[in-house]
Chains A and B, each alone.
Chain A
Amino acid sequence: MTITISLNGESRNVAHGTSITDLLSQLDVDSSLVAIAINQVFVPRDQHAQHIIQDNDTIDALSPVQGG
């Protein structure tokens, strides 16, 4: 069974019960340089393993960039 989420503005299917940690490992990114917000609410890194992604969640995975 899968659920549908929006990840950085793009629709994506993930397995039911997927945690943020699971999602980041699937993305093959350096999780130490990614911060997460779900539905515009910050989710601290120490909650990534326990936080289960829900159907229709909108997830922002952000990384450091240049800024003014």
Chain B
Amino acid sequence: MTSSHPSTPDDALQLYGETVSSRFLLGTALYPSPEVMQQAITASGTNIITVSLRRQQPESDSGRNFWNLIQQHNVKLLPNTAGCHTAKEAIALAQMSRELFSTDWIKLEVIGDDYNLQPDVYELVTAATELTQLGFKVFPYCTDDLVVCQRLLDAGCEVLMPWGSPIGTGQGLLNPTALVTLRARLTDVPLIVDAGIGRPSHATHAMELGYDAVLLNTAVAEAHNPIWMAKAFAHSIEAGRLAYLAGTVIERTQAKPSTPVLGTPFWHSH
């Protein structure tokens, strides 16, 4: 690398007009303790964390403790609509989230099947259309179907979040071909792989495919050491991004020596 090239590219990500430096979006659920959650957020270097709303429980202190914890981090909040099965439910929950979290960003989840938590893409498009009209900036959790993604863009979404595999499974990218197709066809849209990432190598894979960011939760929160795992994912995501920008070599089936052949000692014809 010559001196005219920076050691790392100026590579900030734009999401709905906002610039973020980290391409790692992290969930806040499932950690063994609030303290570990906080340390994992710090270790991840994330600029965006996901949050949610649930029925108020008397023992939960109206969410005050959690609210106070997340206020200690200089991060943007991305509320989700987890658990919603219809557009009507998701729209109501999005509006409630906007009021409480004071953001028009919404991670739109509308689940169509409880076994694999697969998005109901029909309700998803309906909800995305209405929420966009209500002024929301929608981050739809979607499948890797190209036409569904195009319909979500038609609905006004400026970011898409296709799954790698079902939520919480840790299976990585089950259909990289579909993800490559999305990247090739939707060149100007920020694409975030959301769900199913289990290992840092899965995240690197997504980034090497040209994805703009990765959103995950379980893989960090349920690791033996969530803080180390948060850091591991941060490195893996940065590595994958740099690799994508650097340009990987083309695979070949036949071996090709990397050491110069000219002047090979002890050379003889086979």
Binding site for B on A (CB under 8 A): 8-9, 27, 29-30, 33-37, 40-42, 44-45, 60-68
Contacts and interface: CB of A to CB of B under 8 A. Distances in A.
B64 interface: yes
Contacts of B95: 42, 44
Contact of B100 (A27, A35, A41): A35
Nearest to A28: B58
Query: Which of A8, A27, A66 is the most central at the interface, judged by chain B CB atoms within 10 Å of its CB?
Result: A66
A50 to B, nearest CB: 16
A30 B29 CA distance: 22
Interface of B: 27-31, 37, 50-58, 60-64, 66-67, 70, 79-80, 82, 88-89, 91-93, 95-97, 99-101, 167, 217-218
A7 to B, nearest CB: 9
Contacts of A29: 56, 58, 62
Contacts of A65: 29, 51-54, 60, 63, 66
B54 A62 contact: yes
Query: Which of A27, A41, A42, A45 is the most central at the interface, judged by chain B CB atoms within 10 Å of its CB?
Result: A42
B56 A61 contact: yes
Contact of A63 (B50, B56, B217): B56
A44 B167 contact: no
Given A40-B89, A45-B99, A68-B82, A8 B55 contact: yes
Given A30-B62, A42-B92, A61-B55, A68 B50 contact: yes
A20 to B, nearest CB: 13
Query: Which of B57, B63, B97 is the most central at the interface, judged by chain A CB atoms within 10 Å of its CB?
Result: B63
B56 A34 contact: yes
Given A42-B95, A44-B99, 15 more contacts: A8-B55, A29-B58, A29-B62, A33-B64, A35-B97, A35-B99, A62-B54, A62-B56, A62-B93, A63-B57, A64-B53, A65-B51, A65-B60, A67-B52, A68-B30
